[in-house]
Chains A and B, each alone.
Chain A
Amino acid sequence: MGAVIVFPWMFTVWMSAFDWKIGTEAHFVGLENYVKLFTNRRFLESVGHTAYFTALAVVVPLVLGTVAALIFHREFPFRGALRAIFTMPMMATPVAVALVWTMMFHPQQGVLNYLLSLVGLPPSLWVYSPTLVIPSLVLVEIWHWTPLVMLIVLGGLAALPTEPYESARLDGATEWQLFRFITLPLVAPFLVVAAVIRTIDAVKAFDTIYVISQGGPGTASETINLYLYLQAFAFYNIGNASAVVVVFFAIILALALLLLHVRQRTKWAAG
């Protein structure tokens, strides 16, 4: 267990201090890989793409997942079966899903443009447009991962006490007030857990982006993970890629700590 976690890290940190491509001589360069990274325009742009992708891929599933959880929290016929259908995307193989979305995004024969035309909207270039590629990829991410948020929030709703609702109803509170002032504060810790998980996963998103757009058009959807993959396994630039891994992990760690800090505060506020 220790070897599985410790060895790759020691190797990565050590390698990040070398200028080494597979098949060539390795040169010790100290921190030069890191210094270069912070002046590397392509890398810096990939950080921006990652931030944009992550922001959308966290916020939208969080909102939709909460709405879905409120629906599935109520009692209704076939609830179990319908919930099973709703959660299916989350377990489906990402590559298989990505292939189908690739076909759906196709500007000429894609079914999405046909659906747009049915409601009178002009066709879109989807992932073939440099400006729309990231929102389009986020659409796949939303489809894939909203169920996970729903399940986490549903777990929170199941644990809610009933007394505050009864007394608030007696005081004439509306459904919206019940949600805003009782439900939301009580499920807030679960929303934070969902946000942490979603953030970590969105920052690391790889399969769907790689299959659908390969970081393109050009480098318009190249995230840190895509850039890392190309450096390591297209250019075999192990030294540089190792430096990217270290920076990438630092970013993920910082985000997770930030969100966990928020969690501590919400817990504290909730008593």
Chain B
Amino acid sequence: MEPSILVWLLPVPPILAFFLIIFLTNRSKSLSHILAITATFLSFIGSMVIVTLAIRSGHLGEEPFTSVLNWFPTGDTWFQIGVWVDPLTVATLFFVAITILVIIFYSVGYQNYGQPKGDHDQPGLPPHGATVEDEQGHKHRVPSIEPMYSRFFAFLSLFAFGMYVLVISNNLLTLFVGWEIMGLCSYLLIGFWYAKPSARAAAIKAFLTTRVGDVVMLLGLAYLYSLAGSLSYDVIFSEETLAMLTSTSAPIFGVSAAVLIGLFLFFGTVGKSAQFPLHVWLPDAMEGPTPVSAMIHAATMVSAGVYLVVRVFPIISAGMHHGEPTLTMNVMAFIGAFTGLFAATIAVAQNDIKRVLAFSTISQLGYMIAAIGIGAYVAAAFHLFTHAFFKALLFLGSGSVIHGVEHGVLHTGEEIDPQDMFNMGGLRKKMPFTFWTFLIGGLALSGFPFLSAGFWSKDEILADAFAHANWPVLIVLAFAALLTAFYTMRQITLTFLGQARTESAGHAVESKWTMVLPLVVLAVFAVVAGWPGIPEDFPVIGGFIPNFVHEFVGETLAELPETIAFHWVPLVISLVVSLGGLALGWWVYRGLPVGAQDPLEKLLGPVYKLLQNKYYFDELYDYIFVRPAYWLASTFTYLWMDRTIIDGFLHFVARIIFSLGGILRNYIDKPVINGFGDFVGESVKRIGRSGRFIQTGRVQQYMVMALVIAFGTLFYYLFFLSQP
């Protein structure tokens, strides 16, 4: 069939799975996960077909697969929506399809399918383990199955639908629709264990923070629509529209419309991709189950933010004169680089295995945004692509680690936090598969040379920064890369190397094949995914395969971006920071004994406290925004306006009406109306009572009366009427 028709069908299986699961198969756990996996598998197959067709078509940049249909009428014309598959879409589809499938498959094992129901498990709380008796009568505690199993898969399917819609859409409006669906699913899934107050709070925090970004983004969309008359890519990225946008002057800030729109849309990304200052939701979002963290907060949803800015790069870079970045790009470079470093510093001081990865995600997204900011379009897309794989791998790996330690906790009955890295150690021997795949992911994240995908994409960004002589960005990103490697090795050392620091870690068990297989698949990609992007003039290795990423993805833009010439300096910088960071991390944390303090604490002193508390940004926001909002809601709106003014007014009106009613009742209704009615009835009765005496029953009296009246009438007639 036509590729564009197949593209329309890509989001369909997940949304069907969602509805089928919630309406039909909610009670059956196996049916639900079969539906979810089948749906994502179908979409995966479809995506791979599209990818193959796209690559084979050869000139996808000029002729993307598109198909439109009319959605709603707008005056004389229709607002059209449709699908759009250009090289950027293909690259995104590739990693989205694979990661979603892999993560949903992983969830089967993560949610403990096949395990018995827990002793005290309630829907809304994480499963706490079941007690089983073996043949000898020993009671063991084992992990129990998640009570809300089907719901999880339903939400994941809905999420997949949202992501597919975002990726394949041909206009910013349906992209926004997918964006918002994913925001909703993020809320639902972060607050999956809704009985935990911390999860509820985290869900609301995530939703509201990203909402701030979304509102500004919507303003940007509206402004763009008002100027360009359409939100479809083929219109808004055309030469005429871009020229119009740069020449139109925006009503505020005194900048051109293109800059303003770019800034507003970027602000949406700031929210969705957790950049400074809207980064506060992502660490708390780790309250959700680990597959959620992997999918939403590593591979797909936060990537959607970067996808957006990559997609609207023509608008962001409109008005670039001779490689001079626009204001938007400068803002993005600043925020991206700042966030990259900022998050990396915080990650260094975190003890929760998932928090480290969360801040790492924020940092890496900062990288990508900084790359866009300096104009490295292809490098940003490339890093997005590789990051999805290894970050998902890292999160899934951490989920496996947590499961292993929890198993140990259930076995020993210790009361420790299974997510704290200081309670782990020595898991290399207990969970080998997890260890090796996690190591590969960690190396990719640190940019370990040549073998990992992360190296190629990070190196590209640094090379680009160097080539454009963008020293601030280069230095900041390099320092961030150093820190990244450091905290990654810190994480690996604390978790896997050395000796187990707690009994639970000592009793950890490797996870089931349903969890390990996805790790292996992703590990393969973490290594291999960088190879299509090796620059052609790289010494020794370059040139074996063409720089597919550059050629293919670069086609998306109107003119192919320039190939950055190879230079030694950025390569050396990359090598130094990654290898140095890894070595440093291993050296500081190796052999950390039980109960020992973090060595960094001694070193950094009070700064460590600052880092551990995330620079107290949460407290700051609470003070500035959250508390006033609560005051506004509870006191101003509720107490003053609602209760006092509005209710007061209503009560007043009610009282008036009551008294009016009383007056009417007592002075008009009862005396006049009732009285009149009663009077009429009473009079009739009285007349009757007095008149009935005529009827005496005596015939003679009747006759007398008749004759009297007859005579009277006769006389009246004779004497009064017939007078001439």
Chain A complexes with chain B: no
Could you list which residues of chain B lie within 8 angstroms of chain A, going by C-beta atoms?
none
